[in-house]
Amino acid sequence: MSTSTSPTSVTSRTTDAGPERPVAGTPEVALTVDVDGVATNYHDVGSGDPVVLIHGSGPGVTAWANWRLTLPELGTRFRVLAPDVLGFGYTERPEGVSYGMEAWTRHLLGFLDALGLDRVRLVGNSFGGALALSVATRAPERVERLVLMGSVGVPFEITPGLDAVWGFEPSLPAMRSLLDVFAWDRSLLTDDLARSRLEAATRPGVHEAYRSMFPAPRQHAVDAMTLDEEAIHSIAVPTLVVHGRDDRVIPLANSLRLLELIDRSQLHVFGQCGHWVQIEHAAEFTRLVGDFLA
């Protein structure tokens, strides 16, 4: 979930994977790269050491919606890439795909391979935190530093907020109610925002894919994204854990547990902040993450 804003410029690149082409229209659509036969939409800004941003799993989410405030600022210090994860946003949704951590991990590693990125800094938000943990434990040689924000990946009882997010059925009142769950700062929660996110969540094929990812009872989805704690404990790279104190979607206890499990970790908690740290505290978040990744 995120708000909308004016687009940042995105520069087309050519890599060994072939030409990547900007697509006209919404700023949520940027470049396309073939990842094992899946046309994958992604943003690519800045230059320098590569940082990959992995979005969360709110209805209608895209990399742009999640990271549109982070991309231009972090892009002044790094090359920042933000893909639409398999099944989300404007990345192709192949027929018959079985969504789950195995498929999402393969897709993200394939994305790195397609762009020739041997080693990256990973930033994962919520669902994206579990995916970042999966990559960091499955292919540790690919990860140089790790940031986990409001992350899934350790055992917890599903919150009413997350159950509502994953169980979303499209309507304007339901979307307005979800916005109340995501943000501590109610000034962000406008009717225009609710309408725009509902439109994103109801594009052809989007909600059908989303519903298949998180069927009831949704505690099963939490459990399926939970990594073995010994594997998490094996993570040896410097790790920054970030959380909003007032998060109603993912409990703060998750980040406290990650702090305990990962030896080279530190935790920063933002007060007066819900699940949208990167939006509600955009400048402070980007500065904190940028300094850590540097």
| Active-site residue list | 126, 247, 275
Sequence-distant (6+) residues with CB within 8 A of 56 are 1, 66, 125, 126, 127, 128, 150, 275
* Closest to 110 in 3D by CA, of 15, 29, 21, 17: 17
25: left (phi over 0), alpha (psi -120 to 50) or beta: left
Q: What is the DSSP code string of 93-140?
A: --TT---SHHHHHHHHHHHHHHTT-SSEEEEEETHHHHHHHHHHHH-G
Residue with tokens 């998060």: 247
Angle at 134 between CA 128 and CA 138, to 5 degrees: 150
